[in-house]
Every structure is written in structure tokens, then in C-alpha cells.
Amino acid sequence: MFLPKKLTLLAALLLTSFATQAQKVVKKAAAKPEASVAAAATNTLLWEISGKGLTQPSYLYGTIHLVCPADMQMSDQLKQAFGKTQQVVMELDMDSPTMMQEMQSDMLMSGGQNLQQLLSAADYTAVGNYLQANTKLPIDKVGAVKPFILSSMLYPVLLGCTPASYEVTFVKMAQEAKKEVLGLETVQEQLGLFDKIPYAEQSKMLADMVNQEVAAKQELQQMMTLYKAQDVEQLHNLTSKSLFGFQKYEDLLLDSRNQRWIAGITRYATAKPTFFAVGAAHLGGPKGVLALLRQQGYQIRPVVQ
């Protein structure tokens, strides 16, 4: 099946968006935030990693993968931390010359499944009309794409702007400074996650986004408010409670990935001072990257922006 170049390019920006695509953010949690030791101390997206034999510190930054340009936060402290490092590591190697090809080969549902089989006739029509109107992609051309990826493509519509990307910005900064860009996981590993969640459930989430557009926009703005407040603990709480309505997949999409990443973070930080950038929802919580690094014996210091 041929996939339009536009679809592949958008997916490249959106595949690492687990932290920011929480479609059904729990409003109760936003209204009554849970107590957070880390949040009580400091709200920040930027953290210094030192100790445990590191000769120079590395830095960890929590991103939101799509953001309106006016909301993009590139503080002096963030730029300084980036400048002190010698390489950049994100969830994926975003400047790999084979990235698009790898994505193209692994974006489709297995077994020849498609949205027409997975959705009711009414929902299939609604999703098709919405995709055509907002992305110019006919559903008969992209109906076999994994529904999570199609859902990701709707976020610029929900944001109401032509979004910017921290990942793309960091890649550009790295290229200008001649720093190598690396990844904590491969395209195959990340796309493979979408095969472990039933396509029928993914398809329902896609239809819900279309049929409940007003609510989806409001909930995304709640997430943006927390991000701009740099509250990584509440970002984690909201995401884990309503990760696209897939609470039972929190371990798959967050916790297990965090655990796997620690070995890579350790390896890269030991080799040379590194700037790490991953989705902000991966940072907080008892099984988040910050807690796991502390358990490994590293000193994790908040850098106030």
C-alpha cells in the first residue's frame, strides 16, 4: 500500500507523542491534583544528572511533542544546558537517513485489517470526512494505517495552530553545533507498541476524538496548561490515568519503556555529557525516569527555568 509522503512526515513528528496525546485527560485530576513531593519542591522540565562516576553532568528535558509556536519554551537555562553537552539523545534517532523508510514499512495494521472493518458505518464515515477535511487524506488511502498514528495526526487540528516540535528544534540545534543525534529505542520498537493494543480499541479512540472534538480540544488545553507550569508529576498523573483511555496499557506505553531506557541513558551519559529529551510524562511518578535514575545512584538536580 502506498502511503502519501505527507502522512509519513507527520508521523515522524508524532510517533513519540505518548506524553502529549492523552486524549481523555481526567478533568477531576486537573481540578484536584494529587500531592507530589517533587512538584512541591520544584516544577521544572530540565534536570541535571551527575554523580555515580560521571566526569561531567548530563541533562534531561521533558518535551511536549507538538506545541503552538507561541507556547514553545526555550529558556536561557535550557540553551545553556544544551550547549554544555556533546551529543543529543531522544526517544528516536530523529536525524537518521533511513527513518522515513523504516516508518513507511511498519505503519500498517497487521493481517490486512482496516478501519472499515473496525468501525461502525457511521463512525467510518465521520472519521473519513474529518480526515479529508483536516488533513486532505482520503480514508480509503490510509484506512490500513495503525489508528494510533492517524489519531496523532489530528493533534494539530485540536491545537488550532501549525505546531512546532521540540524534537525537530533540538535536531536542528544539534546539526548546527555538529553534535550527534541518537535514540533510546528504534522505530520498530516504538511502532511495535501499537500492535500490542487491540486495533479495535485504537479505532474507538480515533472515532471518539472526531465525535467529541470540543471536549478533546478542552482536554488537550488542560494538558498544555500543566506543561507550561512545568509540573512533571501532574503530567504523569494525568497521562497515566487517562492514556488515550487505555489505563491498562500504562506499563506498556510508559513504565516498561522507562525501565528499558535507563541502560541507554547510563551508557550515553557515561561516554560523554549528553542532552536527553523525552516526553515529559515519562519523567514523573515512582516508575518515572527521574525516580529510576535516583535508584541507580545518580544525583538528579532540578534546573529552574
Q: What is the mean pLDDT of residues 113-137?
A: 96
Give residue limits of the domains in the chain: 18-302
Give yes or no for a contact between 240 and 25, defined as CB atoms under 8 angstroms apart.
no
Q: What is the reported pLDDT for 128?
A: 97
Q: Quick check: 17 pLDDT over 60?
A: no
Q: Quick check: 137 pLDDT over 50?
A: yes
Q: How far apart are CA 35 and CA 30, in angstroms?
A: 12
Q: Quick check: 19 pLDDT over 60?
A: no
Q: What is the reported pLDDT for 242?
A: 55
Up-side HSE of residue 255: CA atoms within 13 Å toward CB? 11
Grid cell for residue 200: 479495535
Q: What is the mean pLDDT of residues 20-35?
A: 32
Q: Which of 1-5, 47-51, 54-58, 203-207 has the lowest mean pLDDT?
A: 1-5
Q: What is the reported pLDDT for 241?
A: 64
Q: Quick check: 257 pLDDT over 90?
A: yes
Grid cell for residue 212: 467529541
Q: What is the mean pLDDT of residues 284-305?
A: 95
- 271 versus 240: the higher-pLDDT residue is 271
Chain CA centroid to CA 268, Å: 21
Q: Quick check: 275 pLDDT over 90?
A: yes
Q: How far apart are CA 150 and CA 173, in angstroms?
A: 29
Q: What is the mean pLDDT of the chain?
A: 84
Q: Which residues pair with 278 in a beta bridge?
A: 62
Q: What is the reported pLDDT for 191?
A: 87
Kindly provide the b/e burial profile for residues 205-229, where b requires at least 16 CB atoms within 10 angstroms of the residue's own CB.
Answer: bbbbbbeeeeebeebbebbbebbee
Q: Quick check: 26 pLDDT over 50?
A: no
Q: How far apart are CA 94 and CA 149, in angstroms?
A: 17
Q: Quick check: 21 pLDDT over 60?
A: no
- 266 versus 304: the higher-pLDDT residue is 266
Q: Which of 67-71, 117-121, 258-262 has the lowest mean pLDDT?
A: 67-71
Q: Quick check: 28 pLDDT over 60?
A: no
Rounded to 5 degrees, φ, ψ at 266 are: -60, -45
Q: How far apart are CA 229 and CA 197, in angstroms?
A: 31
Q: What is the 3-state secondary structure (H, E, C) of the chain?
A: CCCCHHHHHHHHHHCCCCCCCCCCCCHHHHHCCCCCHHHHHCCCCEEEEECCCCCCCEEEEEECCCECHHHCCCCHHHHHHHHHCCEEEECCCCCCCCHHHHHHCCCECHHHCCHHHHCCHHHHHHHHHHHHHHHCCCHHHHCCECHHHHHHCCHHHHHCCCCECHHHHHHHHHHHCCCEEEECCCHHHHHHHHHCCCHHHHHHHHHHHHHCHHHHHHHHHHHHHHHHCCCHHHHHHHHHHCCCCCHHHHHHHHHHHHHHHHHHHHHHHHHCCEEEEEEHHHCCCCCCHHHHHHHCCCEEEECCC
Rounded to 5 degrees, φ, ψ at 22 are: -65, 100
Q: Quick check: 13 pLDDT over 70?
A: no
Q: Quick check: 173 pLDDT over 90?
A: yes
Q: How far apart are CA 231 and CA 225, in angstroms?
A: 9
Q: How far apart are CA 99 and CA 97, in angstroms?
A: 6
Q: What is the reported pLDDT for 273?
A: 98
Q: What is the reported pLDDT for 184?
A: 97
Q: What is the reported pLDDT for 100?
A: 82
Query: Confidence class of residue 217 from pLDDT cuts 50, 70 and 90?
Result: confident
pLDDT digit string (tens) for 30-57?
A: 333 433 333 334 799 999 999 999 999 9
